[in-house]
Structure 1
């Protein structure tokens, strides 16, 4: 049946070829003669690999291999350098061939939902044009830091996996607009999430989250889904703590950072000769109460913000716990702020 369709197609030079649900366990090699095809549908067959003849489809932009039996990315895909959209949902994928990923520089859309992937190779960063990545219902336990180099990524679906955290560098995904993390085991979101300045939808439902990052309110969120998480409740417990003794490194860092605010300070010029110290101080945080910078010694507190009044969310009511960092117990004990200490059971 497939051979007959290909013979007919050869006469018409089609842009689209549909071989869905033909019970194919192999793609006919004659397909290599259809170098005019832009969109190839192979969904719903029994394919475990793709023939090398597919490499002749140098104009191919869309390939749908969903609902097959592939266990790895077919090596022939590395020759399809014009490919823009690739569907591999409902297969048996256990690995993503790094060699293939390296050549798919024009890929903007990748759907690998419902497979058996446990991790991404570092070469995932080679998909430099990727805008939409969907890997729902796999077995991912972590995401490689290299994934954060996908700076064109706009939509990321990773629901139904085994993730417990996201890379600390997640904020490099500056074009991310939609992030779906529901039904994982995530305990904490990275502070760098606040750098995703275009994020409009965040779904973190059914995880193990207790508190949100400090800069949640700075995100342009329109939708936030966080049900079925053990979020901190607004039950304030008042406590006065004694001032801690700071390390010499911390005291020095705080002094230097205060001096750097003075445009006439000698340290502003001197620090240029110490790039390692400059990079270290660049990782500093600011106290939510006094606004002073600190390096490592801080108190984790929580502030409860109104989902509609403060975050401008239409889909969520009530209070949302947001992390706040304070530089000292002196600030914690001061009057007039609405930050509370985090008590773990």
Structure 2
């Protein structure tokens, strides 16, 4: 039986000599077995502790040699084994809780010399490097010649950066890294994203800047990325349109879109209620979508876009009486009812997805007034980069009014932006 964990061995004699032992836990491989070449049932059973510095290991006799177990935090992968001779406390941590529980049970049996035949004893042989070295959690590749071609990426990776390697696609071996939290593939030549990226179940930060991307697949906006992704960097690519489904990534805090060819931002961008840092400078954006006023940002950068001139806010369209279809659709969206193509026809799903929001926050579809208002970006963000070199911070905003009441309210105060 073998257990891999962090270990810290402390002598109980040090305090009696006026010394305090301070040590740092190291990765270790623990095994229970008999000396190599001993098959006798009476042969002594030992605990073998191997570390990177001591791969051959140190043996500790187990029979009637364990004074006490401390397993209060076994659920967290922590425990302490107190030996009688030598007077040591073997502190275990960062172990798999299930494996740790089974291992302590085997130690208890070996200490009592009871039911030995039930133990899964292993030969007391030196540990391999993979068993005693800490798993690699970070990896950086900055040159094409350093890119691993014949061996896999370590499964333990939590952060991976591969830049300036001329990648044209995302390696399928990267998509198999279940523990990956940070993925930086910037400064490559990637043209498309595989839908299998959804298998990166722990991904929190995704940097795809300085590539050749023009499409963001809808599959990447569903679970699990929908709940895990906090940073998305798509700057310096070839995007002309940011698809509506990207607003399903409601956990985004950082969103970077600068230096693309984007002409419009998604109408439902206001769904990104946790967004705090947004940049979309140097694109082709002329107006902001109505949902933009729902954002509450710490930092906003829209510099270098050809926004329409900052003229007066006007609302000249005439309202039409809503159809029964629109009345029903407004109620569905107002109540937040779920829908999909398995429940209702696709044309109805498309109609519900085309929802716009009035300045008052109510949903509307065809029966609404569509016009350009203006908004001072300082009302939406704590720190604002001006729109151009003149220092302008007022931006044209596409806006909608859902009823005659909202229309009258806006006519009375055209400079107000309200919800």
The interval holding the TM-score normalised by the smaller chain is: 0.5 to 0.7
* Structure 2 CA distance for partners of 1:221 and 1:233, relative to 1, 3 Å: same
2:376 equivalent among 306, 317, 322 = 306
Is 1:13–1:37's contact at 8 Å kept on the other side of the alignment? Answer: no
1:321 aligns with 2:396: yes
- Please point out which of 297, 300, 325 is paired with 1:253: 325
Question: Which residue of the other structure, out of 118, 125, 137, is the alignment partner of 2:198?
Answer: 125
User: What CA distance in whole angstroms lies between the structure 1 residues aligned with 2:407 and 2:54?
Assistant: 73
Shift of 1:330: 10
Q: CA–CA distance in 1 between the matches of 2:315 and 2:207?
A: 45
Aligned residue in 1 for 2:40: none
Correspondence list, 1:273-288, <5 A: 275-276=343-344, 283=353, 284-288=355-359
1:138 equivalent to 2:214? Answer: no
Give the distance between the partners of 2:152 and 2:195, measured in 1 at CA.
18
Deviations 1:239-289 (A, max 9, x none): 845666x7xxx612234357889x9xxxxxxx9xx9528867754434337
The reply on whether 1:168 has 2:244 as its aligned counterpart is: yes
Q: Is residue 2:131 matched to residue 1:81?
A: no
Q: Tell me, yes or no, if the aligned pair for 2:142 and 2:162 is still in contact at 8 Å.
A: yes
Q: What CA distance in whole angstroms lies between the structure 2 residues aligned with 1:130 and 1:259? A: 36
The TM-score, its normalising length taken from structure 1, stands at 0.67
1:67 aligns to 2:143 (yes or no): yes
Question: How many residue pairs are counted as aligned between the two chains?
Answer: 275
Unaligned segments of structure 2, at least 5 residues: 1-50, 56-127, 387-392
Ranges in structure 1 where 5+ consecutive residues have no aligned partner: 1-9, 15-32, 39-58, 264-270, 341-345
State the Cα distance separating 1:132 from its structure 2 match: 1.1
Q: CA deviation at 1:222?
A: 1.0
Q: What residue number does 2:264 align with?
A: 188
Q: CA deviation at 1:231?
A: 1.1
**DSSP 3-state at the match of 2:183:** strand
CA distance in 1, matches of 2:315, 2:272: 35
Q: CA deviation at 1:37?
A: 4.7
CA–CA distance in 2 between the matches of 1:225 and 1:13? 55
2:169 matches 1:95: yes
User: Partners in 2 of 1:253 and 1:75 — Cα distance?
Assistant: 59
Do the aligned partners of 1:13 and 1:34 also contact (CA within 8 Å) in 2?
A: no
1:157 aligns to 2:233 (yes or no): yes
Give the equivalent residue in structure 2 for 1:338.
414
CA contact (8 A) 1:243 1:330 kept: no
RMSD, matched Cα: 3.8
Provide closer, same or farther for how the CA distance between residues 119 and 70 of structure 1 changes in structure 2, counting only shifts above 3 A.
farther
Residues 241 and 84 (structure 1), Cα distance of their counterparts in 2 relative to 1, 3 Å cut: closer
Is the 2:310–2:395 contact (alpha carbons within 8 Å) kept by the matching residues of 1? no
Pair 231,195 (structure 1): closer, same or farther in 2 beyond 3 Å: same
- Asked if structure 2 preserves the Cα contact closer than 8 Å seen for 1:186 and 1:207, the reply is yes
Structure 1 243/314 Cα, relative in aligned 2: closer, same or farther at 3 Å?
A: closer
